[in-house]
Amino acid sequence: MVVRAPRRELLPFVSRLWASEGEPAPGGRERVLPTGAVHVAVRLDQPLRVFDAIDAARPRTIGRAVIGGARAAPYIRDVSLATRSVGAQLRPGAAALLLGTSGRALAGRHIGLDDVWGAAATELCDRLAAARGPAQQLDCLEAALLARLPRVRGVHPAVAHALARFAAGDDIATVVDDVGYSHRRFIALFDDAVGLTPKLYCRVQRMSRAIAQIGRLPLAELAARMGYSDQAHLTRELRALIGLSPGEYRAIAPLASHHVPVR
């Protein structure tokens, strides 16, 4: 996989760009863990196919150019065929600005990029298919995202402040006091921009930090460092958010933290 940061103009809205060539995986299924972010992906050959349940007999076809909304639960992806894809991970709050639809409308869903970009999505697919190699593909996707910038006004100040404070470790009550909105109004603003409520967003971010350290620290120490009340609390949270216990996740030892083979 080739991963790079976007140009400076896109950095407030896009955290990373990537191009990958995936090989078929044993078992043909992969558990994709939540990141709390919105993703845009264009597949250059095989369309995205997902299973509605881990034991579903057949996958459902989504399409080649896809937006994946913010999630607080994993989904099961068909990885039985080799595929090439190009994509971007958006920063929280950027969906409405770059895609023209709210984070709340996308939450927990996959939708076609053409549903929000229209003919521009088809044109992007054609340009990416004609591009020579990952570097040119990333340039092409970056140019398409940059073309959306004239419409951008910026993330709501209260949401931008909250995201920065959550990253610094502040709790929701403190942030609500800071922004000067009622608790209900703040939750509505945040959910509309990000696609997850503040509480759920913070749970997903803490989960992501925790799984990055599994296998490096004893679980009791990991739970304490990440702010869980104890090891049992850490286990319950991982089961609730990714469908695996810390031990099960460690045994699988996925090559990519948020892409876990189904066994």
Q: Give the domain ranges of the chain.
A: 2-151, 157-251
User: What mean pLDDT do residues 143-168 have?
Assistant: 83
Could you give the strand order of the β-sheet that contains 83-90, starting from the edge strand earlier in sequence?
A: 2-4, 14-22, 83-90, 39-43, 65-68, 110-112
Which fold does the domain 2-151 belong to in CATH? Jelly Rolls (2.60.120)
Query: What angle is formed at CA 41 by the lines to CA 192 and CA 69, rounded to 5 degrees?
Result: 20
Q: Are 18 and 249 in contact (CB under 8 A)?
A: no
Distances (CA, A) of 25 to 17, 18, 81, 259: 23, 20, 8, 11
**CATH fold label, 157-251:** Arc Repressor Mutant, subunit A (1.10.10)
Residue 100: what pLDDT?
A: 86
Question: Residue 9: is its pLDDT beyond 80?
Answer: yes
Residue with tokens 């639809």: 101
Full-model pTM: 0.86
CB-CB contact of 223 with 230 (8 Å): yes
Query: Which of 113-117, 119-123, 155-159, 222-226 is least confident?
Result: 155-159
| pLDDT tens digit sequence for 68-85 | 999 999 999 999 999 999
Q: Is 56 left (phi over 0), alpha (psi -120 to 50) or beta?
A: beta
